[in-house]
Structure 1
Amino acid sequence: MMDVMEGLYQVALERKKTKQEGSYTCYLFEQGLDKILKKCGEECSEVIIAAKNGVSQDTANEVCDLLYHLIVMLVESGISLKEIEEILEQRRAKIGNLKQFHISDHCS
């Protein structure tokens, strides 16, 4: 999956550097971070709705839309996929390091 994500990231980087007529990615970069973040929020909501509706293909498509817009946001913000991968790896290493649930005494 990281190869696909890296490919999309590289396309987004190229679109940011070199404007291409009719490119939606270029349009997003031209509009700026606020527009990109608005699209991320919209796509996140669409993922939630699709998941709630229970149609896995719709949910998968919406997740792809969200990931695309997140990649554009990362490029705009100067955050590399390598940085994201390193953070995820650190978090993966913590799997199994469970915290204890807080137990309330409802009798007192």
Structure 2
Amino acid sequence: MTLDELYTTILARKDADPSSSWTAQLLAKGPEKCAEKFGEESVEAIIEAVKDDKAGLTSEAADVLYHLLVMLAARDVPLSDVMDTLAARQATSGIAEKAGRSRT
């Protein structure tokens, strides 16, 4: 499954009955809950990375990607916009790109 396919599935669950799917339940709880779950999964991935547990990190990384896409869907941010941003950054050195970001 590609990220595009997963994102499409997540979008299809936005209007689903929350009792029918975990994704629908998350989305029904609102963007803040989706962001909270993304944060939890990110911390779990960090822990597995620090422990050097490759299997654990692989599993948690999958959870991070899923919850990132749910969070994007909850805020109506198209995955294509994220991919376009990454593509634009690819033409610039990481150091130069980071230096050019506005600080607020």
- Smaller-chain TM-score bracket: 0.7 to 0.9
RMSD over aligned Cα, in angstroms? Answer: 1.6
Deviation of the 1:57 alpha carbon:
1.4
Deviation of the 1:18 alpha carbon:
2.5
Provide the C-alpha distance between the structure 1 equivalents of 2:18 and 2:75, rounded to a whole number of angstroms. 20
Report if the CA contact (8 A) 2:18-2:25 is conserved: no
Provide the C-alpha distance between the structure 1 equivalents of 2:18 and 2:8, rounded to a whole number of angstroms. 15
Identical positions, percent: 32
What stretches of structure 2 of length at least 5 have no aligned partner? 97-104
The residue aligned with 1:38 is 36
What stretches of structure 1 of length at least 5 have no aligned partner? 100-108
Q: Which amino acid aligns with 2:92?
A: K
Q: What are the equivalent positions in structure 2 for 1:9-88 lying under 5 Å apart?
A: 9-19=7-17, 21-88=19-86
Deviation of the 1:19 alpha carbon:
2.3
Deviation of the 1:23 alpha carbon:
0.9
3-state SS of 2:68 partner: helix
Provide the C-alpha distance between the structure 2 equivalents of 1:98 and 1:53, rounded to a whole number of angstroms. 29
Deviation of the 1:30 alpha carbon:
1.1
TM-score, normalised to structure 2's length?
Answer: 0.84
Q: Which amino acid aligns with 2:7?
A: Y
The residue aligned with 1:103 is none
The residue aligned with 1:105 is none
Deviation of the 1:98 alpha carbon:
4.3
Count of paired positions: 96
Q: Deviations over 1:77-100 (max 9, x none)?
A: 1111110111001111113x645x
Q: Write out the 4+ residue segments of structure 1 that deviate beyond 3 Å after TM superposition.
A: none
Report if the CA contact (8 A) 2:27-2:34 is conserved: yes
Q: 1:34 to 1:98 in 2, by over 3 A?
A: closer
